[in-house]
Amino acid sequence: MDWKHELARRLSTAVNGEKDRIIAEYQSMTGKSPATLYRIAKKHGFSSGRKKRCDAMTCELNEEQIQFVSTLIQTSAREVKGTIMGVEDALEIAIDNGVIRPGQISVSRMQAILREREMNAKSIDSVDPSIRMASLHPNHVHVFDASICIQYYLRGRRGFGFLDERDFREKKPKNFEKIKRRIYRMVLADHFSHNLFVKYYLATGENAAMTMDFLTAAWRGGHDVGLPMHGVTFLLLMDAGAANVAKGIMNWLSALGVKVPPNAVHNPKRQGSAENAQNIVERKFESKLRFEPATTVEDLNKWVIDWLVKFNGEHKHKRHRMTRTACWLKYARQEHIRVLPSDEILHMLYAEPEIEATVNQDNTVQFKKEFYWLKHIEGISPGKKVKVIVRPYHWPTVGIAFDGQEYTVEPVGFRDGGFLANAQVIGEGYQRQPDTNIQKIRKANENLAYGDERKKNDLPFGGSLVVHGNQAEKVKSVPMPRQGNAIEIDTSVFAEQKVSIMAFMTAIKRAGADISPDLNRAIREAYGSAIDVLEKERLLAIVRSNGAITIDDLGGNHAGAEAIAV
């Protein structure tokens, strides 16, 4: 039991006259005032048992008045430094605006009320509760942040110089404007192991090229045998800097399969690992630059790699109680390490992660000197448009998007002489492409016109179609001299009695029957160029019943057909 609980217990059991002695005893040991000691005891369970005093100084102060004073204190606060208005000033404003009557409450009593209700400045400035975040394995989550190395600036041929903090600070912003290019420190931390990677840049400001170069360097690795961390992360946490959230960078990360969860505004806790890493680099690495200053960015980057090998390899992290390098090596599995593609692929992912291509005559598309055969994709034919999508971890395999579907396609490759690997060797057989939809339609049309076998000099539909000499009779009215009357000849009676032989055979096929070449000739011999409607319906009824008609089912009406033709 600590002295605070002990004080509360002794005061609670004390009889009249003992409380003052107990308070004096603890006052001599702690140096605190009696009022403070009573307040501490009250927090730890002591109650005097007295009724609270109710007079004009306290009981007439309602909840709205108390909250008004607290609100004044809160709303006058600065975003970073927190509350700056005192209780005395807030109370004065409340009195001046008629919220509280003059003399209604003292400043000290107002302070006590706000403190008891946790509505005072200290409570308002307290940190909001948060939850601890966990990552699953190395490379699961990387945290990235950029900051300015305030110790150095470029002095022309003389290399880097120190920034005098007495001249380069918030109250003298114009001095910063004199420095056109500054040193940027970019830091990446693996959330699981807290393995660090650092690189410096000399620039006029953050930009997308720096971000892309840094992430590429961090994920490619290989800077030193003592820095084994490498591989593309699955989730990247970074601040909302303009260079980081540029559309090109976001698309590039998405093409690499990196998710960037949205960040809440002014949420430094999300970047906690990176902020901590920035402090570590500044205290443990940059603090030594005062004794041996660098003259180039190359020196800085060479020295920071040397320092990272030692720091990651020797300093134990308080969470997992291992060195950062040891933790990364222990828990990183093959499936956690997505090897960064080549620079050529990275440039493609940034500039053209997907392109539209036209299918060639041999059902291939060309992309970056490779050919891809698309014959297995349903509906593909020469001239169709497809989208070729770069798959960075499976290159040169790509994705082909067509008609709402995506297909994985490998390159055809080449044989000696620069020929495609799937090209047919002359004299070693014949290989043809599968029929396209258009080719299938063409074949069906040819079968309808010529039957199953087309012979030389055959006319379409056996030469039975009437296409000449019957045009004039289609005109339903003929112009006549002005003084005469036009005569309309109605031929609908004949149209209702006869149908063309071609329309009849089409109806037979639609009913489900096949027409062989022999049956085709027999039909034309029996009925000529037209057939009675009743005869047509009789034969269609046979088809519906038996599934086919035979030559014996034909009735024949040469005379009627010839008569209609005449």
Residue 288 in any domain: the answer is yes
User: How far apart, in whole angstroms, are the C-alpha atoms of residue 197 and residue 281?
Assistant: 10
CA separation, residue 401 to residues 350, 377, 381, 384 (Å):
19, 10, 14, 12
Residue 56's pLDDT is 41
Helix residue ranges per DSSP H, 134-262: 173-177, 208-220, 247-255
Q: Are 222 and 199 in contact (CB under 8 A)?
A: no
CA separation, residue 149 to residues 58, 179, 201 (Å):
54, 13, 10
Same-domain check for residues 301 and 186: yes
Query: Which residue range forms the structural domain that includes residue 363?
Result: 354-418
Tokens read off for 26: 């603890």
Same-domain check for residues 228 and 312: yes
Q: Which residues of 471-480 are buried (b: 16+ CB within 10 A; e: fewer)?
A: eeeeeeeeee
Residue 321's pLDDT is 93
DSSP state, residue 259: B
Residue 445's pLDDT is 77
Q: Cα angle vertex 306, ends 303, 308, to 5°?
A: 110
Same-domain check for residues 331 and 368: no
User: How far apart, in whole angstroms, are the C-alpha atoms of residue 200 and residue 147?
Assistant: 10
Q: Are 311 and 196 in contact (CB under 8 A)?
A: yes
Residue 203's pLDDT is 84
Residue whose tokens read 């047509």:
536
Residue by residue, pLDDT tens for the chain (566 residues) are 578 888 888 888 887 778 888 888 888 888 888 888 888 888 888 877 665 554 444 456 788 888 898 888 888 766 555 677 888 888 898 898 988 888 888 888 888 888 888 888 877 776 555 456 788 999 999 999 888 876 555 455 555 555 555 555 554 555 555 556 778 899 999 999 999 999 999 887 788 888 999 999 999 999 999 999 999 999 999 876 656 667 888 889 999 999 998 764 444 455 557 788 888 998 888 888 777 777 888 988 999 999 999 999 999 999 899 999 999 999 999 999 999 998 988 888 888 888 888 888 777 888 877 788 887 888 888 888 988 888 888 888 888 888 888 888 887 765 655 555 556 566 565 555 555 566 667 777 777 776 767 777 777 776 677 677 667 667 766 565 555 555 554 545 544 578 888 888 888 888 888 888 888 888 888 888 888 888 888 998 998 888 888 888 887 544 333 332 22
The upper half-sphere exposure of residue 555, i.e. CA atoms within 13 Å in the direction of its Cβ, equals 14
The domain boundary, picked from 310, 336, 362, lies at 336
Q: Are 73 and 120 in contact (CB under 8 A)?
A: yes
Same-domain check for residues 156 and 105: no
CATH number of residue 320's parent domain: 3.30.420.10
Residue 424 in any domain: the answer is no
Q: Are 252 and 350 in contact (CB under 8 A)?
A: yes
Same-domain check for residues 251 and 329: yes
The domain boundary, picked from 418, 435, 459, lies at 418
Q: Please enumerate in sequence order all residues whose Cβ is within 8 A of that of 327, keeping only pairs 6 or more positions apart, or say none.
A: 138, 192, 193, 194, 195, 317, 320
Residue 490's pLDDT is 52
Q: Which residues of 310-336 are buried (b: 16+ CB within 10 A; e: fewer)?
A: ebbeeeeeeeeeebbbbbbeebbeeeb
The upper half-sphere exposure of residue 70, i.e. CA atoms within 13 Å in the direction of its Cβ, equals 19
pLDDT tens sequence across 23-67: 888 888 888 888 888 888 888 888 776 655 544 444 567 888 888
Q: Where are the beta strands (DSSP E) in 270-392?
A: 354-358, 364-367, 370-373, 385-390
Residue 429 in any domain: the answer is no
Residue 103's pLDDT is 87
Helix, strand or coil, per DSSP, at residue 367? strand
CA separation, residue 60 to residues 56, 63, 106, 192, 489 (Å):
6, 10, 13, 56, 110
CA separation, residue 62 to residues 104, 169, 411 (Å):
11, 46, 80
Same-domain check for residues 315 and 289: yes
Residue 494's pLDDT is 45
Residue 482 in any domain: the answer is no
Same-domain check for residues 171 and 229: yes
Same-domain check for residues 148 and 266: yes
Residue 477's pLDDT is 64
The sign of the torsion formed by the CA atoms of 328, 330, 334, 335 equals negative
Residue 557's pLDDT is 45
User: How far apart, in whole angstroms, are the C-alpha atoms of residue 122 and residue 82?
Assistant: 9
Residue 427 in any domain: the answer is no
Residue 135 in any domain: the answer is no
Tokens read off for 190: 């693996």
Same-domain check for residues 120 and 178: no
Same-domain check for residues 187 and 212: yes
Residue 306's pLDDT is 95
Residue 313's pLDDT is 94
Query: Across-strand partners of 148?
Result: 184
Q: Which residues of 93-105 are buried (b: 16+ CB within 10 A; e: fewer)?
A: ebeeeeebeeebb
Same-domain check for residues 556 and 470: yes
Residue 554 in any domain: the answer is yes
User: How far apart, in whole angstroms, are the C-alpha atoms of residue 301 and residue 307?
Assistant: 10
Same-domain check for residues 203 and 85: no
The domain boundary, picked from 124, 152, 174, lies at 124
Residue 438 in any domain: the answer is no
Domains held by the chain: number: 4
Residue 244's pLDDT is 67
